[in-house]
Amino acid sequence: MYKIRVILDTKEDVIRTILVDSDLNLEDLHLTIAKSFGFKGQEMASFYRTDNEWTQGEEIPLFNMEEVGEGVSMKTCLLQETLSSVNDKLIYVYDFLNLWTFYVDVIEISEDKKEGLPQIILTVGEVPTEAPEKEFVAEKLDDGFGVEEDADDAFGSFDDFDYNEY
């Protein structure tokens, strides 16, 4: 049995702690999380592997997106294989139009068996009516062309070019 804390990425604390069977797959976990926050679970969603700093890694989509072969999907990923230890983490994104983002953290694993799972054992905060806006910030990568101002040096300034001559 797993005790999992799920935190909605908002300014206010919105947290659910749930108990689930260890033999659950991620598709069932997706439905459990969605329903515990009041969603129907009918929108597209993905889990993302992450490290302890919540750096987003490999995607685990709801459906196999590979054209050929056996790609990864929530249905093929078992909870006990994906989150095998306490403090293992995933990022969960629900509804790609609104980008509801959740932090999923394993807080306890036990060999106990319990009837009636999944079960919400702690509810903190109310889910806002609209998803919080996301700000995407990417680090500036070196494109191999040097400093942007240098682009005009080799051929003169493009701003001085008279396009009406041609």
pLDDT digits (tens, 9 = 90+) for 61-82: 998 877 666 778 999 999 999 9
Q: Before 128, cis peptide (omega within 30)?
A: no
Percent of the chain predicted with pLDDT > 90: 61
Tell me what pLDDT residue 141 has: 64
Distance of alpha carbon 101 from alpha carbon 30, whole angstroms: 12
Closest CA to 41 of 117, 92, 114, 115: 92
Distance of alpha carbon 102 from alpha carbon 12, whole angstroms: 13
- The pLDDT-based confidence of 30 (bands split at 50, 70, 90) is very high
Which strands make up the sheet holding 15-20, listed edge to edge?
56-61, 45-50, 89-94, 100-109, 2-8, 15-20, 119-124
Cβ(15)–Cβ(5) under 8 Å? yes
> 103: helix, coil or strand?
strand
Tell me what pLDDT residue 107 has: 97
Give Cβ neighbours of residue 35 (< 8 Å, ≥ 6 apart): 41
Distance of alpha carbon 101 from alpha carbon 7, whole angstroms: 9
- The pLDDT-based confidence of 14 (bands split at 50, 70, 90) is very high
In tens, the pLDDT along 80-130 reads 999 999 999 999 999 989 999 999 999 999 998 888 899 999 999 999 988
Residue 141's φ and ψ, nearest 5 degrees, are -100, 150
pLDDT at 4 over 70: yes
pLDDT at 5 over 90: yes
* 16 or 136: which leads in pLDDT: 16
Q: DSSP string of 25-66?
A: BHHHHHHHHHHHTT--S-S-EEEEEE-TT--EEEEEESS---
